[in-house]
């Protein structure tokens, strides 16, 4: 597990080592977070809102 910080509430979030960018993580503060690659390290940011061109 990798210990990351929630960018919204600042609390710790555990993310599996093999997480990939674009993976969605739900956090207890209610934020929907997205894993991304920040200079070679995994980090979290607020997930993108559903876009109007999204979907199958």
Partner 1 sequence: MIIGVSYDLLRWEEKDIITEAKKSGFKAIPIFTKDFYSAIGVGENYSELEADVIIQRNTSHARALTTSLIFEGWNYNVVNDATSLFKCGNKLYTLSLLAKHNIKTPRTIVTFSKDKAVDLAKKIGFPAVIKPIEGSWGRMVAKAVDEDILYSFLEYQEYTTSQFRQIYLVQEFVKKPNRDIRIFVMGDEAPVGIYRVNERNWKTNTALGARALPLKIDDELRDLALKVRDIMGGFFLGIDIFEDPERGYLVNEVNGVPEYKNTVRVNNFNVSSYLLNKLREWIKK
Annotated binding-site positions for Zn(2+)? 6, 9, 27, 29
Q: Residue 54 CB, nearest distance to partner 1 (Å)?
A: 5
For residue 48, give every residue at least 6 positions away whose Cβ sits within 8 Å of its Cβ, in sequence order, or none: 34
Instruction: State the residue for tokens 């929907």.
Output: 32
Does position 16 interact with partner 1 (CB under 8 A)? The reply is: no
Q: Report the site for Zn ion in 1-56 (rule: CB under 5 A).
A: 6, 8-9, 27, 29, 31
Show the tokens assigned to 56.
Answer: 């199958």
**2-5 and 12-15 beta bridge pairing:** antiparallel
Footprint on this chain of partner 1 (rule: CB under 8 A): 20-24, 34, 36-37, 48, 51-56
């Amino acid at each position: 597990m990798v210990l990351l910080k929630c960018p919204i509430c600042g609390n710790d979030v555990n993310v599996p080592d093999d997480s990939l960018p674009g993976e969605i993580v739900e956090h207890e503060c209610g934020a929907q977070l997205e894993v991304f690659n920040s200079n070679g390290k995994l980090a979290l940011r607020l997930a993108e809102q559903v876009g109007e061109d999204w979907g199958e």
